[in-house]
A and B are shown apart, each in its own frame.
Chain A
């Protein structure tokens, strides 16, 4: 080769300017363009992420504040129990005219003329209609308050809440907005008196579904989601780990295990709504389990998360080097002992990471839950997984369909709560991986 090559190598002696044009400029320009496309693709992707998150936060952070009105409510016996029947008829306290108490207190506070009906109506509209149940609960819990005057913190109505947060454009013609000029004046008057103020909104974490934005919260949905996550964790972790151990360590290479393998990979990519159909047909229709129950939701989400967990677990088991197995087997451990005493503990961080990611997916899943009837208007906390309940993402879906402006704020607030949960779960997974992952 060398003796052949030597004579052909000739050093170019031609001057640089006469070099054949190979379009280097054009090619470098193309190179720069290509690079710019790449950078702009990444920037665009990150831009969308930023827009998505910032709209949610911009719309939602105000949901964590709630305007309240603290009024000295006189629990007058004349209004609550005019005929003094409460000892004999327990229904009396449940059905009393509590809004009247609010009206009286408000009229007194604002110094209005109680005989001017429309005026008084506008004033009482500033207080949420949930005041009725709030006052009722106070009286029912402790009937001795009747006859006393107690300051009670009531929720402001959603539109007043929005106006006080500055979200309503007051320059629009009065007839076209829901908050009237007079109400705004009263609002400012109450705010100056320190009666009306913004405070941290604990209600969004504790209330259930409500048609009034100010009294709606994700508390009930959180409990439903919690039940489902517990069911998913309890079922999918052991089953997923057991299945992966069999497939990875024991299964003979044959048609059947090949089929299971293909099957699991496919199940991981089946649209989630198909799992909802499965749950509806098998669990609700065939097995007769209750609709809207967290139990059925948990089962459906378990089936949905299983492939994810199995795939992650198998990868984690595969990453444990064969030398560990050989050493254990060489010392006389049985195959089962090798796996359960040595391989599985070493693979555990990987398994848990996969499980947490699977759970995070299940927590945000909505579509299958819609089909098994979890789009329910649930006001009370479910006492057990068999009772009707709803889930956090489903609550978001239901609020997203509400027309009122204040629900946009609530929906974004609920999304923030959901995202915070997801961030914590994923951070946990990352930390777990950082802390325990071993490179062999």
Chain B
């Protein structure tokens, strides 16, 4: 399936919503926040898509107000791969978990909680993964400041 076909397939299943190809990434479909995680469940279980392999999920920070969450998944049956993007509110990023669908999403979400401060309601074990438990702030955010972090001279 091509990304266009994915967008069409999702549009047929959720006629109330718009699905567009991400202008930044030709292999990525933008999905509305309300459809997480139903839309992922559909992609995993639908016979036409069968996305049974979860690559990764990560965030891309766009200050001042946007935080993109990118999911990537693959079908070992059809050998097609797609990225899905959800746009979050940067001040209060919150998105339902998908870790009950693919176990691999578990640590990816813990990492995003740790490094970007995204909250995942429904996640069973939302703790910091890389940084110590008492660390303050979320290091991969663009405006993160720390005394040890200096700008590299040009």
Q: Determine if chain A interacts with chain B.
A: no
B residues near A, CB below 8 A?
none
